[in-house]
Chain A
Amino acid sequence: MTAVADRPVWKSGVTLAVIAGFCTALVALTWQLTAERIEDNKKRWLERSLQPALAGLFFDSPVTESMRTIPPPNDLPGSGAAIVYRVYAGETPVAALFVVSARDGYAGPIRLLIGVDMEGTVTGIRVLEHRETPGLGDRVETTKSDWVLQFDGRSLNNPQPGSWAIKDDGGEFDQLTGASVTPRAIVKAIKETLRYFETNAAAIFATPPDDADNDSAGDE
């Protein structure tokens, strides 16, 4: 190895540039080969993850294409913008799917998918994202327990408004052994979403699905 001073700096620069160029080409090529599949996966995953919250409903539109963002401030749980997917059978609105964040989880926000039909009845709840304790709060996932299924078919009047809480708080809903913060946060978020839907249903479905593209500009 010759001393550093003997070697012109530009040589090092050229080596770096050539290798950087090669590496960029490598990444670009891989991206070319994978981009389409990745985009497909994302769409399929989203569509697939929305289905469980629509159990037993008839609809014939691709749910992901009817997205609308509801910018803050709104009365939905969570501080950021909420997302709502509108579900149609033909031209008739069937249900709305909300993606909201319950802010008061045990370890950060809990992203929830909440399906509500036109009568204001819950069609399904799924937890999309959370950081609750494994083995305790994470039993809100359907792969771990059936806990979230107890909300199916519930509405603001079933149970009575006073009983919209977990049993610890004098309500009607089961909690999870060893974890009450997580269920409490989820119950509250569902209740707030149902309330929001009750007052804003008309506005949500005001624009026909064809105009969804204009609405959802600037989403994500």
Chain B
Amino acid sequence: MMFDGFIERLKTGLWRDNPGLVQLLGLCPLLAVTATFVNGLGLGVATLAVIVMSNALVSATRRWIQTEIRVPIYVLIIASLVTCIELIFKAWFPDLDRALGIFIPLIVTNCAIVARAEVFASRNSVGSSIIDGFVMGLGFMLLLMTIGAFRELIGQGSLFARMDMLFGGEPTRGIVLTDGGWLLLVLPPGAFFSLALAIAGKNAIDRRRKELQKSIPRSARTLNR
């Protein structure tokens, strides 16, 4: 029962209400860092950690927070958590921290996080809020990884380059398919094109599904008669 609910909510976070694809939140980091897969993964993990913890803290304190001061409190909580994450990155993933640069501290401004605090965590139990943060953060992370992989593959002709920044070891160039690629995809416009493709792809899949659902009941009806 509990598990069924979780699967349903996972679908919501990853697909139906994906913060990046559907709600179009947090686009600034999404567009800026996704030039490679490892950058997308790194920022995705950081965002996921922040959103889970901020949802937990906001939910745990929701009974004491007066409505009129809730926004400064959310900002305070999120900013502290991001600072902690930044320190942790600097201590354990210094290379990745250097690659992501300003976009780690800028997680503070990711409106997907404030949105979840306001819409969900301030009205639901701690456990439920943690699940919500997890599915939403995961949806955002998977989108960052997908766009990162796509841009790296087309733009540089490689995949999983510099994974050592996250997992240690010698600097690696990843799986190199060709030397160099379609440069445009690595440059900022490529981020917009990739996101547009991702959104269009999702809409196309949704529409096809809807048409399938429409056609099935009709045929079922005719069979019954």
Chain A residues engaging chain B, CB cutoff 8 angstroms: 1, 4, 7, 11-12, 15-16, 19-20, 23-24, 26-27, 30-31, 33-34, 37-38, 41-42, 45, 133-136, 143
Contacts and interface: CB of A to CB of B under 8 A. Distances in A.
Contacts of A4: 67-68
A27 B91 CA distance: 14
Contact of B84 (A16, A26, A38): A26
A34 B88 contact: yes
A31 B67 contact: no
A133 B187 CA distance: 8
B200 interface: no
A16 B72 contact: yes
A45 B91 CA distance: 12
Contact of A20 (B76, B87, B92, B94): B76
Interface stretch (B13-21, B23-31, B58-66, B201-209): B58-66
A41 B35 contact: no
A34 B94 CA distance: 12
Interface of B: 35, 61, 64-69, 72-73, 76-77, 79-81, 83-84, 87-88, 90-92, 94, 171, 180, 183, 186-187
B88 A30 contact: yes
B91 A15 contact: no
B183 A27 contact: no
Contact of A23 (B80, B94, B187): B80
Given A1-B67, A27-B84, 7 more contacts: A15-B66, A15-B69, A19-B77, A23-B79, A30-B87, A45-B94, A135-B180
A61 to B, nearest CB: 24
